[in-house]
Structure 1
Amino acid sequence: MTETADVNKEKPISAAVIVHEGRVLLVRRRVKEGSLSWQFPAGEVEEGEAATAAAVRETREETGLEVKDVSVLGERVHPNTGRTMIYVACRVIGGTAAVVDDDELAECAWSDGQQLTNYVPYPFFEPVQEYLDLYLSK
């Protein structure tokens, strides 16, 4: 019975928190996830894949941006989606962010600290907010 529960369990989602030149990268999905519209580049962690590697891969697949993982900021069950979320701080190592996966994404944008609530009007997970407070331009 335990095996069946594990097979049906949804894979965790790894989100890339990318701050570059005082701005954070956000993407807008074509299909909203609950009330979520703008969010970090993110996707499911594949079998045998580290959450850090998933954040790097999803960023490249969705936006074409090459990033390197820096650290895991935290993990939680998202209050809107019920999915396990792992937040990974990443830094840009190459490329330019654009909509590469136009099946999933409608657009992407870089936001500074002042504009951020225009994109995301609700509070971030506390460890993510602390990271953004340190590195975003006001």
Structure 2
Amino acid sequence: MSNEAFARHLGVAVRTVASWHAKPDVKPRQEMQDLLDTAFDRASSSAKARFKRLIEPETDEAARSDASGEQAQALRVAIAVVVDGSQVLMVCRRGEDGGGISWQFPAGMVKPGVAPEAVAIRETLAETGVHCAIVCKLGSRLHPITHVQAEYLLCEYLTGEARNMDVLENVNVAWVEKAELTRFIPADRIFPPILEALEVSE
């Protein structure tokens, strides 16, 4: 985003964003850091992956370790595969440049110390208005597109009307018939255990 667009996104003055570019070593105030953390949490998986690649070249093994010598945690996302009978919940994300769309499952960034299960439930509600419960873990993999570690969780629908609760990031929210899933996401991009759990043929 431009300085102006990012300032609008955060709800802060343009000069504040400009000052971060001018003085990148300055540490933001706690309330501003909380705002930035929230913006990062709400960003798409691909934006988070690009952010990681931007900071990675300047990060060596020593910088990855904190003062206690513990290794920093790699970026992880929790992906909720929410099922209600013959249907599965999907979100339609906007392209990073405002153009183009892609259908995905609800997902959210997993912060250190937070369980992927909690993130999957929370982000599904935040994005779609749907309450769900974890059924089981489907496994994990390095996402083939975003290259972020993805944790997949099969969830069951509890209550709530599916609607687009995040108009900045998503275009639409919809229940899709399991049999129609591969019309929304190519089969070769879907984690195989998801297809098995939904009994969808490739």
**Which bracket does the TM-score occupy, shorter chain normalised?**
0.7 to 0.9
User: Percent of counterpart pairs with the same letter?
Assistant: 36
* TM-score, normalised via structure 2 length: 0.60
Task: State how 1:1-138 maps to structure 2 within 5 Å.
Answer: 2=61, 4-5=63-64, 10-31=74-95, 37-123=102-188, 124-133=190-199
Instruction: Could you tell me which runs of 5 or more consecutive residues in structure 1 were left unpaired when the two chains were aligned.
Output: none
Q: Counterpart of 2:178 in 1: which secondary structure?
A: coil
Match of 2:47 in 1: none
Gaps of 5+ in 2: 1-59, 67-71
Which amino acid is the alignment partner of residue 83 of structure 1? V
Structure (1/2) with the larger strand percentage: 1
The ranges of structure 1 where at least 4 consecutive aligned residues each deviate by more than 4 angstroms after the TM superposition are 6-10
- Please tell me the root mean square deviation across aligned C-alpha atoms, in Å: 2.4
Bigger RCO of structures 1 and 2 (CA < 8 A, at least 6 apart): 1
Deviations 1:56-101 (A, max 9, x none): 0110110111111111101000111101000011111111111001
TM-score when normalising by structure 1: 0.85
Cα distance in 1 for partners of 2:65, 2:178 equals 40
Structure number with bigger Rg: 2
Structure with higher helix content: 2
- Name whichever of 93-102 and 125-134 sits farther off: 125-134
Q: Match for 1:43: what amino acid?
A: G
Give yes or no for contact 1:26–1:110 (8 Å, CA) kept in 2. Answer: yes
Aligned positions, number: 133
Q: Distance in 1 between matches of 2:101 and 2:153?
A: 19
